[in-house]
Structure 1
């Protein structure tokens, strides 16, 4: 609602801010200690300040916030300060700011959070490019706060039902102001918690284009050092749950029953309906707990379909079932297991299904079905590849792996090619594993065939009976912890590895487009000699000197390196000397007292047992990936050729 004239003090922003691109609205209530950080992040934007309108609405602060804000107007002409009586929540000040906004877009910034310096530039640019009604920027937590959703993919347009955007309904995002006015979207006033739910829900469900910018973090959520964030306040949870009921009725009015509505309701069971049934629930006496359950039960009855129930994790699934079935004592036991202590160990059945270790599992005196405890499909292999390194011709891998809440017992590294799988055992202890992949023995004790092999990890967890009892196994592709380090990583460079009786081969590690670790064991993906550079000089008398340098990790000591001259029809093998320098670097040289006349391309032949490669030599000053070959021009030194040159002058 608009701020009445007797409560608002508007400071004019000057002619340069008459048509701003974006209005930043900041509700303020006793957050003086954070204002320099929060408001300062707006004034530090790379977007021209003449395109930014800042509206700070002081909601009855008593800590000097209003006075400090008014002082800032002197040095920031694009800042407007509004003052009003305390309203009991962020809704009314946000509405006041929205009523005064003139920007094409509106961004809501909480006064204890901050923006990245480039946030408004990228968010408004995204909106302008895509015609967006709503734009999400990537959100990150700071000082102990977690982000509500991890946005990692930039998208011009997303569906509310098939993307994670609906899991963040808070106000801190960019809205097209004309869209907000078209639908008369305003915040609920006088509420300390969840005042932005109806606003965010309606905006997402009615927006024609919702975009995501995830190239960099745009918004930082900060925790308050005095623990005064709204979600940490003392709340009347019965009243809160009744209010949530009205919000979900609005969702139901917008989305008909079915799979789409259920997807939204899963988020609301996570975030609003079942959230109070933790420490707030245990903090009440028995009568208070029963009162909370009585208010939540109609919501569960209306919106908890079987599809929603199955999508919840066991901890919430049990809560929802207990609420729906009127099992108040069981509800308290389940909540206490999560809040006051820890759930017991999981149960692994003979059929490989896993059940959470919450109270009353298969208790004949309780009416709690196994399906409420089942977490089989939620047991996900969590693993990291933290180190890889070639030692000689053996690839050493090290990482961590776990199957929460089962843990793990044995690890294997799998080498996969189509339907072929070779298993390499790993040492596993306390969640960490080590493995050595030797191409000479990796194929079940024999040489690994030349081809492209993908690396996976398999972790098996056994029940109390050990390996003789039931077990659960999960596999996942190996992904280096820092895949961006592949470029220039010496262990990703091609090398020569031994394969026992099969002879040496060229091995090169590489990452698939999805970042999965692979081994090319024939040298086609990354051939040897990528850094092979050289010079070729020849005198008028035909004396030539060729020198080349390259790196050959793993090159056998008995390997032969020989420089070759090639033209369209001939190949000349030169007497070559090779010197091994530090770090697998080689220098090769050839001297010709009188070479065969003509223009020759220079190559290097590597021979190591059955392995034979001919590597093109490029000039020392050639670009890194340039195809320019090194050439040697040898003059004809015969008597006839010399006489002909003399006649020509």
Structure 2
């Protein structure tokens, strides 16, 4: 029997009625020249899952194989059984509640074959739930682990080269029930030669069950969550060298496994359990925490790390309870203090001399968000010297606007060339905006150091500065309700077409103005009329007229 190209692994436990659609999506794959086997492991189901698997195996004997076993207590056991029995060149892990897009396997295998990929991510789609999306902005033939957002997608629903799993001994840890997938994928990422991303095809549909039976957040053993994070960080240390890739892996674990485990459940633990959990975090912080990581964490994460490291259990609980209340209110409850060009969130124990938590833990300067709105895009002036007027407002959320210094910034696509356009402050009726209204006049013929803008597309950004703080983002996505459509215009020899991108942001398409024909003069019209008359009269008649004119002229000479 020939080796299939891919083995789709399904670990199934009480997965009805979702299992049927899952299996249908596998056997209906558009594979092209590739071949597929489906290896399903029934993990001691009691709801008819086993019978449904057998039914599909009978209907598709060349594709579906079924293994029945006693319940193992988690997803790791069935997946490991399947790894041992898989025959495909690649292995893909599919949860029994979820399903595949029709072209998923073909697109991911093609990507792997083209690049020699050990791991391929196919675009996720959430069905009544949120899924990671940041890594699927565009196809990536070869991922840079130091900068890629694939670290935000650590579930095992990916295509793996089977030789990678066998040669590296990659298996799921069966003694943990939550986070085992993050540990497995982290190890795979760090040992893969090439990782690729398919972003232009909906590959994996993640389904939220009505009973939430597949949502691991219901598992509340925080002690094991901390243990999983500890194992992940140990794996990172063993499989990577100090540098950007290790920092990216550690950052994901600090943010999405270790420090965020200090959730609302932490205050409900026994004091001895709290102390033990803090000791785990302290050990990892002292081993791996660096200034580079600190700069990329949020203020709550930095506070958590400091409290764990210095044994501030009571202060830690105070901050957790405060954040819980903020989330319940769905709005920030803390104030923002600006001091010497830095912004600080006044979470509990801010500048509390007794607790001694440094201001740097509360620093949110890098987290500030900008609020802005485009109110008008209008051409002013004559046809030959038009000026594009942009009006709106921009301010930094939760920071009082004082002496605003707002500027529009035009950035040319391709080379990143920038042009800054000063604004004039104007009053605004928006109570949140306060004195943050502005108007800017852009003369395309003089904007670039007194000369014309170069041809191309210029994206519009808005810089907002106040109290020594500054933010910048693309401008135009939020618009006034009565904003009139943008119209084309020009200045000098330039034609400028304002338009909105797929994300709603404002851009300017600058090209050469089309030349217009000059109106013909009366003399030219007369001349052309005589030439036309000549053609009609013919050459003989013209010569006769010329002789007659010559005689007439001669008779009048003195």
Change (3 A) 1:572 1:455: farther
Alignment of 1:274-293 (within 5 A): 274-293=259-278
**2:344, 2:364 within 8 Å by CA — same for their partners in 1?**
yes
Change (3 A) 1:308 1:412: closer
Deviations 1:349-392 (A, max 9, x none): 34121012211010111120011111112224365769867799
Alignment of 1:405-420 (within 5 A): 406=399, 412=406, 414=408
Whole-angstrom distance in 2 between the partners of 1:80 and 1:638? 96
Change (3 A) 1:30 1:403: farther
2:430 aligned partner: 429
The TM-score with structure 2 as length reference comes to 0.78
Alignment of 1:389-538 (within 5 A): 403-404=396-397, 406=399, 412=406, 414=408, 421-425=421-425, 427=428, 429=430, 451=453, 455-460=460-465, 470=467, 472-478=469-475, 494-495=488-489, 506-509=495-498, 517-519=506-508, 525=511, 527-528=513-514
2:143 aligned partner: 158
Change (3 A) 1:596 1:208: farther
1:30 aligned partner: 14
2:177 aligned partner: 192
Instruction: Quote how far apart the aligned CAs of 1:345 are.
Output: 2.9
- Name the structure, 1 or 2, with higher relative contact order (CA <8 Å, separation 6+): 2
Alignment of 1:250-261 (within 5 A): 250-261=235-246
Change (3 A) 1:435 1:206: same
2:414 aligned partner: none
For 2:50, what is the secondary structure of its paired residue?
A: helix
For 2:321, what is the secondary structure of its paired residue?
A: helix
**1:494, 1:527 within 8 Å by CA — same for their partners in 2?**
no
**1:396, 1:434 within 8 Å by CA — same for their partners in 2?**
no
**2:129, 2:206 within 8 Å by CA — same for their partners in 1?**
no
Q: Quick check: 1:639 aligned with 2:538?
A: yes
Alignment of 1:54-453 (within 5 A): 54-77=38-61, 78-147=63-132, 149-341=134-326, 344-381=333-370, 403-404=396-397, 406=399, 412=406, 414=408, 421-425=421-425, 427=428, 429=430, 451=453
Whole-angstrom distance in 2 between the partners of 1:98 and 1:595? 94
The TM-score with structure 1 as length reference comes to 0.68
Task: List alignment gaps of at least 5 residues for structure 2.
Answer: 411-416, 543-558
Change (3 A) 1:206 1:508: same
Change (3 A) 1:223 1:573: farther
For 1:319, what is the secondary structure of its paired residue?
A: helix
Whole-angstrom distance in 2 between the partners of 1:98 and 1:635? 95
**1:384, 1:481 within 8 Å by CA — same for their partners in 2?**
yes
Task: List alignment gaps of at least 5 residues for structure 1.
Answer: 1-14, 462-469, 483-489, 498-502, 533-560, 566-570, 576-591, 598-633, 644-649
Whole-angstrom distance in 2 between the partners of 1:381 and 1:128? 44
For 1:120, what is the secondary structure of its paired residue?
A: helix
Deviations 1:160-210 (A, max 9, x none): 222222332221111111222222222112432111233212211111111
**2:12, 2:49 within 8 Å by CA — same for their partners in 1?**
yes
Q: For the aligned residues, what is the CA RMSD?
A: 4.2
**1:126, 1:132 within 8 Å by CA — same for their partners in 2?**
yes
Deviations 1:556-588 (A, max 9, x none): xxxxx86669xxxxx99669xxxxxxxxxxxxx
**1:192, 1:230 within 8 Å by CA — same for their partners in 2?**
no
Change (3 A) 1:276 1:202: same
Task: Judging by fraction of residues, say which structure has more helix.
Answer: 2
Instruction: Quote how far apart the aligned CAs of 1:313 are.
Output: 0.8
The structure 2 residue matched to 1:47, chosen from 31, 38, 41, is: 31
Whole-angstrom distance in 2 between the partners of 1:257 and 1:346? 38
Whole-angstrom distance in 2 between the partners of 1:309 and 1:237? 23
Deviations 1:273-312 (A, max 9, x none): 1222102213324444333323433223322233323321
**1:413, 1:425 within 8 Å by CA — same for their partners in 2?**
no
Count of paired positions: 514
**1:354, 1:374 within 8 Å by CA — same for their partners in 2?**
yes
Deviations 1:103-159 (A, max 9, x none): 221111112223222222211111011111111223343313242743313222122
Whole-angstrom distance in 1 between the partners of 2:460 and 2:344? 30
**1:563, 1:574 within 8 Å by CA — same for their partners in 2?**
no
**2:390, 2:439 within 8 Å by CA — same for their partners in 1?**
yes
For 2:284, what is the secondary structure of its paired residue?
A: helix
1:537 aligned partner: none
Whole-angstrom distance in 2 between the partners of 1:146 and 1:387? 36
Whole-angstrom distance in 2 between the partners of 1:212 and 1:266? 21
For 2:135, what is the secondary structure of its paired residue?
A: coil
Whole-angstrom distance in 2 between the partners of 1:255 and 1:518? 42
**2:302, 2:361 within 8 Å by CA — same for their partners in 1?**
yes
**1:170, 1:196 within 8 Å by CA — same for their partners in 2?**
yes
**1:494, 1:526 within 8 Å by CA — same for their partners in 2?**
no
Instruction: Quote how far apart the aligned CAs of 1:315 are.
Output: 0.8
Instruction: Quote how far apart the aligned CAs of 1:323 are.
Output: 0.3
Change (3 A) 1:398 1:493: closer
Change (3 A) 1:418 1:96: closer
Deviations 1:235-255 (A, max 9, x none): 332234234323322221122
Change (3 A) 1:39 1:162: same
**2:444, 2:494 within 8 Å by CA — same for their partners in 1?**
no
Whole-angstrom distance in 1 between the partners of 2:90 and 2:74? 23
For 1:159, what is the secondary structure of its paired residue?
A: coil
Whole-angstrom distance in 2 between the partners of 1:86 and 1:641? 113
